[in-house]
Structure formats: C-alpha cells, structure tokens
Amino acid sequence: MATTGSIIRGIGQVALGAVLLTAGIGHLTKARKEFQAQVPNWVPVDPDTVVVGSGVVEISLGTALIATWKQPARRRLGALAAAFFVAVFPGNIAQLVDHRNAFGLDTDRKRALRLLGQPALVAWALAATRK
C-alpha cells in the first residue's frame, strides 16, 4: 500500500522528469542559443555540441525518471540526475562570471540568484527517488 510520502515522492519524480524533458527539448530547439550562453569558455568543445549533448542527456534522464519505479534502480537514477545537475553547475557559474545574458537573466543579481536553484535540483532529484 502506498503511503502519502511515497505518493508525494512519485509526483516529485514525474515532475522532475517533465522538467528535464522540457529542458532537453529546449536544448535541441527554441532555447538552443540561450543554452550556448552557459557553456564555459574553457570547455574545449564547440558550445553547440555541448548543448546538444546535454539536451540528449536531459531527455534521457527525464524519460527514465518517468518510467522507472522499482528500487534500487529508482534511487540510482536520482543519484545520476543529481550528479548531472552538479556537472552542469559550472555553466551557471560561467554565465554569472562572464556576464552573459540568457533566459531573462540580464543582471549579475539575477544570475547569482539562479545559482541557488542548482542545489535545489540536486535535493529534488535525491528526495523524489529515495526509498
């Protein structure tokens, strides 16, 4: 029998999956240029290649989050999503440090506040997929 906590975690998992699917599709379509503004200058790969690759990863993670319900695979998937959010964090820092406008983040204050969202995504991924 499902508990209230497990139902809430399930809703959180599906919602995170939907967020990742939406972002991943954006990487490949209308938001592609915006995402390129987040690729740090020190990355030795073409920014468009990075954006397409990370979009494919986001679509894959989003799909897996929506489709995976058995433990321990679910917990491992949450850890993988959390690791992805950590891995892309330098892009958010680069956007702030290099003063790059994208996604309506047109001031350093807005870009700095956005940095707080990344730890929240990590926590969301881990909490929604735990046992």
> How do residues 58-89 score in pLDDT, each as one tens digit?
999 999 999 999 999 999 999 999 999 999 99
Rounded to whole angstroms, how far apart are CA atoms 17 and 75?
A: 14
Q: Predicted confidence band at 102 (pLDDT cuts at 50, 70, 90)?
A: very high
Q: What average pLDDT is seen over the chain?
A: 96
Total domains in the fold of the chain? 1
Q: What percent of the chain is modeled with pLDDT above 90?
A: 97
Asked if pLDDT for residue 1 goes beyond 80, the answer is no
Four-residue CA torsion sign, 13, 78, 45, 37: positive
CA distances from 124 to 6, 19, 31, 33 (A): 14, 11, 23, 27
Q: Predicted confidence band at 124 (pLDDT cuts at 50, 70, 90)?
A: very high
Q: Predicted confidence band at 2 (pLDDT cuts at 50, 70, 90)?
A: confident
Rounded to whole angstroms, how far apart are CA atoms 41 and 88?
A: 14
pLDDT of residue 117: 95
Domain span including residue 63: 4-129
Question: Are the CB atoms for 111 and 98 separated by under 8 Å?
Answer: no
- pTM equals 0.94
pLDDT of residue 113: 96
pLDDT of residue 109: 97
pLDDT of residue 119: 97
Pseudo-torsion of CA 110, 111, 112, 117, nearest 10°?
A: 90
